[in-house]
Structure 1
Amino acid sequence: MERLNLIFELLPSNRSGSARGLTIAELEAKLGDQSEIEIPHRRSLQRDLQVLVREDRVVVLGTAKGDLPRYQRVEEPFEIEEPVWNYLLQHLKRDLEGMVSAGQLSKILNRLKLKDEGLDLGEDKICILPDSLRLQPAQIDYQVFANVLRALADGAALRVRYIDRLGKASEPVLHPLGVMQRGPRVYLCAMKNDEQDERMYALDRMRSAECLPISARQKSDFDFNRQIAEGRVDFANGQQITLKATVRGYVEQLLYDCPMHDSQKLDPLETEEAGSLLTVTLPASGQLLRWILAGGGNIILMEPETLREVVVGQVKKMYDDYYFNDNS
């Protein structure tokens, strides 16, 4: 089955815009580039292709007298078109650039078999930019990362050497619950020693990680997806809020085209003032606060009052720092 699926993937698509398939010899050459599979005897390969043809997964071309048979894979209409697939691969590469170092990126692309295919549209034709300033990824020890993931998969406890942001070292026993990538940093969500509450530990602050021969304590009510949905992974308490704000300019148009949540409503202002009234229910989080502050004068927050006070406090502090504490 693995060989059949590999043959299917190696054949050109009937939706790629090219009528040319692969001959048996050309397919054998492509299989020769796949180090993880033994090249089958030609008769076996012919039988494999006959199976795929009977299953309507492959079509035979060039059946005229004297022509060598050529084979194409048959893709359903709902499958992703080749140009769109190439674009998505470019997006994947850009996302990976924000997660790993340049040295690791080439190894990952090679492992994914993306080094020489699917990336033929270069930066002179496609430009993909993040919607915020992209920081360079934090440097992590990949042996540490591997042990963290192994402990998580095996349900084992971990002893780590951890350096906090003040430079203080400790060696806690952690009971892993889940791993989260947030922006350029990777975090382990875990319970420490005998504590019952989970915390987030940055992997780039771990100098070593040892899988222990004891089972990790479990937390029966822990649900990583719920933690994410409630905003708890962004150093917030998961509180749901109904946000009301006046939005204008580029922010208004952006939210019309790209809603921030399914509950979003945008209504034109009743006054003649330009802009719309945004109403949306979502978790309070640091990410939300940063988005509001980044909008500047294009977002005027009205509710909830507690968040409005935080925004006003941040703006006032920035004003004071810029205009009253300027030593220049």
Structure 2
Amino acid sequence: MARRSDTLETTRLAVEMLRRIPRGRKITAAELQRELEGAGLMRDVRSIQRQLDMLSQHFEIERDERSKPYGYRWLERARGLAVPHLTAQESLLLRLAEEHLRHLLPPRLMQSMDGFFAQARRNLGDGASARLERQWPRKVRLVATSQPLLPPRIRAGVLEEVSEALFANRWLELDYQNASGKRRPVRVMPLGLAQQGPRLYLVCRYDGFDNERSLALHRIRRAQASTLTFEPPPEFDLQRYDDDGRFGFGEGERVLLRFRIERGAGQHLLETPLSRDQQVQERGDWLQVRATVVDSAMLEWWLRGFGEAVQDVRRLPASEAAP
């Protein structure tokens, strides 16, 4: 019985290690040991090294011996731990996700999912039973709500270091160049990652400050995850940060917005309201709209996009608005 228990524990260790070996960047035995401890698997570094050496002989895992400690990673085109029995529906969902994300995410991030996407393509290409599923992607399409843009180029290694620091609650050293071209080194506490259209943004706090900022990943020229960890501030919530309009270039101020809009331009507001408390009065060829929203630059751009079809725009602080 003890032998069987040891075998199961060894198998579990191997599976957990294979799951944690990354693509695109390398991981050392010491780093892997810390991650395994978080999963309840306590092993010394030497044991981890022996397992890694064994796994690299039987799987498509590269061992970088140019310097110590050695680094390990899956080869770019390795199948890794692909699930062998994806259903047709699961494969279809992955195919749709691949098509949707193709022009939204950086190529290196898409490449990290290649093994899963390739398996989905193989599944949908095998057998007569998958015929209908193969037809489905040609029957659905995601259409843009604004002018489509290609994703900006993110420098090699930046996304990997940012993701590692964000996941492990580590301080992050950045070489950052802002929109006006000013470049300087900064030390930040990474708190969240958000995608807005084709761009990725890191929500963080600068060292020594207690307010959050959003940094565009494509403006980071270099990133290095520190070995020093931090405790995430309990008062920060990424959902609330978004709800406050911070990704829309606002400061979270809620206003009572009033405007009138030509019926043809504003008909969609009857179907997709600006807010839950939106009220619309129909007045001939015009609609009179009232709604409580977060004031932001994005809101201003949206209103200006209607040109002369929107008139009499008024904003009143929500706290001062009459019920």
- Scaled by the length of structure 2, what TM-score is found? 0.60
The correspondence for 1:252, drawn from 266, 270, 274, is 266
Q: Secondary structure in 1 aligned to 2:210? A: coil
Max Rg structure: 1
Distance 2:101 2:161 in 1: 21
Residue 301 (structure 2) pairs with residue 286 (structure 1): no
Runs of at least 5 residues in structure 1 that lack an aligned partner in the other structure: 1-33, 41-72, 74-81, 307-328
C-alpha distance in 1 between matches for 2:84 and 2:223 = 40
Q: Alpha carbons of 1:277 and 1:137: their partners in 2 closer, same or farther (altered >3 Å)?
A: same
User: Within the alignment, does 1:236 sit opposite 2:250 as a pair?
Assistant: yes
Higher strand share: 2
- The 1:129–1:218 alpha-carbon spacing in structure 2 relative to 1, beyond 3 Å, is same
Q: What is the deviation of 1:94?
A: 5.3
2:287 maps to which residue? 276
Give the CA RMSD over aligned residues: 3.3
> What's the TM-score once normalised by structure 1's chain length?
0.59
Q: Is the 8 A contact 2:244 2:253 kept in 1?
A: yes
Deviation string 1:231-285 (CA, Å, 9 cap, x unpaired) is 122221110011111122433221112223222222212xxx3121111111112
Contact (CA 8 Å) 2:106, 2:154: kept in 1 or not? no
Moved over 6 A (4+): 37-40, 88-91
Per the alignment, residue 99 of structure 1 pairs with 104
SS of 2:251's partner is: coil
Count of aligned positions = 227
Q: Determine the structure 2 residue equivalent to 1:120.
A: 135
Distance 1:276 1:284 in 2: 21
Where in structure 2 are the equivalents of 1:1-328 lying within 5 Å? 36=81, 92-93=97-98, 95-101=100-106, 105=110, 108=113, 111-112=116-117, 113-115=119-121, 117=124, 118=133, 120-121=135-136, 125-141=139-155, 143-216=157-230, 218-269=232-283, 273-304=284-315
**What is the CA distance between 1:222 and its match in structure 2?**
1.4
Distance 1:106 1:148 in 2: 17
Aligned-pair identity in percent equals 22
Q: Could you say which residue in structure 1 is the equivalent of 2:51?
A: none
Q: 2:288 & 2:251 partners in 1: Cα distance?
A: 26
- Letter in structure 2 aligned against 1:224: L
**How far is 1:114 from its partner?**
4.2
Distance 1:159 1:122 in 2: 42
Equivalent-residue separation in structure 1 for 2:217 and 2:248 (angstroms): 16
Q: 1:290 to 1:137 in 2, by over 3 A?
A: same
CA shift at 1:104, angstroms?
6.0
Output the amino acid matched with 1:100.
Answer: L
